[in-house]
Amino acid sequence: MASELSVAKFEHSCFYLAKDGRGILFDPVEYLAKLPELTGIEAVIITHQHGDHFQPAVLEKIRAANPDALVFTTEDNAQGIPGAKAVKPGDKFMVGGFSLEFAAITPRSCPGRCLAKTSAQLLMAFL
């Protein structure tokens, strides 16, 4: 029996993919509401440096509750995040039952940034 994938959308760019009690959190931010207490996070993906996609204090809180979570982000962002993995187009990783493939995109606001395609074939472009 195939595992069921769930998606939860939070503020602005933040969403959470979960399967079998494990998940991947994209662009964790808090504005009007706090993120729920999320455990079982296998990875955090930060698409780029803008404050509406990356808030260091929020990432710190998530890492405290999920110390083994991997952090994937762009090269310029990774330099300021201890232990973060800088990704480039074509990089592929298996993380907690999720298959991640990173690809370059070129939106007007963020040329050359990254996004991920999951094993569920969802293309995430919340930029």
CATH of the domain at 81: 3.60.15.10
Banded pLDDT at 52 (limits 50, 70, 90) = low
115 in a domain, yes or no?
A: no
105 in a domain, yes or no?
A: no
Average pLDDT of the segment spanning 101-112: 60
Average pLDDT of the segment spanning 53-76: 88
pLDDT at 127 over 80: no
Considering the chain, what is the average pLDDT of its residues? 76
112 in a domain, yes or no?
A: no
**Domain around 82:** 6-88
Q: How far from 65 is each of 17, 28, 42, 48, 87, CA to CA, in Å?
A: 17, 14, 11, 22, 24
pTM for the whole structure: 0.78
111 in a domain, yes or no?
A: no
How high is the pLDDT of residue 24?
Answer: 92
> What's the structural domain count of the chain?
1
Of 13 and 127, more confident: 13
Average pLDDT of the segment spanning 56-72: 92
